[in-house]
Amino acid sequence: MLKEVLEEMSALGAAASFSGEFMEEGTRKTQSRGTAIEAVNRFSEGPPASAATEAEFHARKNNLIIGGTRDKDEIIEVLNKLEVNVKESDIKIRQISSNKTWLPAIVTFNSENIKNTIMAKRKEKGALNSTNMDLGGVERNIFINDDLPKFVQKQLEKARELGNIVYKFIWAKDGKVFCRKREFSKTIRVMSVEQVDELKK
């Protein structure tokens, strides 16, 4: 009888230990998730970020929007002419416009490093067009931009209004919007569309 009681107590102890470990693991995951959401909140506009917002940033981090190109082959040609070796297997392309002449597309890269290298090369090259990229056909601009969440895109569009005043540099990077009056002026972080109205004054 005593042996049976001891075996039962041992089993209960093991179950309690497992339950404690499970709860600790759940706590660790919750804390980790909370940290990721806090990171989004540091540069978001409006109410605190939800899990959906967190997922949106994560889903777009390897994306670029490329426009002014005629097809998938020309997209790859443009990227290679920026001295970044990209193969068709390195990317996925999804058209975001019904315009059949040019192809604004979301391009998803296998690696965030490749995406960041392309953005750095584009900055070095300056304004892109079919002439300086030697693409042929009708003269047109080629653009390569980050795939921004809608609320950040609204911030950027609003911030571009500052270009009509004294702000020479307006850009977005890593889901944040910045502006600067001159090349060596202080960089200002645009946190909301309301802030832009204040900067105009």
Q: Report helix angle 51-60 to 2-41, nearest 10.
A: 70
Residue 140: count of CB within 10 angstroms of its CB: 17
pLDDT in tens, 65-93: 999 988 888 999 999 999 998 888 889 98
In whole angstroms, how far apart are CA 159 and each of 101, 114, 167? 30, 28, 9
Per-residue pLDDT at 77: 93
Closest to 189 measured CA to CA, from 164, 201, 175, 4? 175
Contact 196, 159 (CB under 8 A): yes
Q: In this predicted structure, which of 13-17, 47-51, 53-57 has the lowest mean pLDDT? A: 13-17
Phi, psi of 200 (to 5 degrees): -70, -20
Q: What is the pTM of this model?
A: 0.62
pLDDT in tens, 35-49: 433 433 443 344 444
Task: Round the average pLDDT of the chain to a whole number and report it.
Answer: 75
pLDDT in tens, 112-158: 899 999 999 998 999 999 999 999 888 899 999 999 888 888 888 99
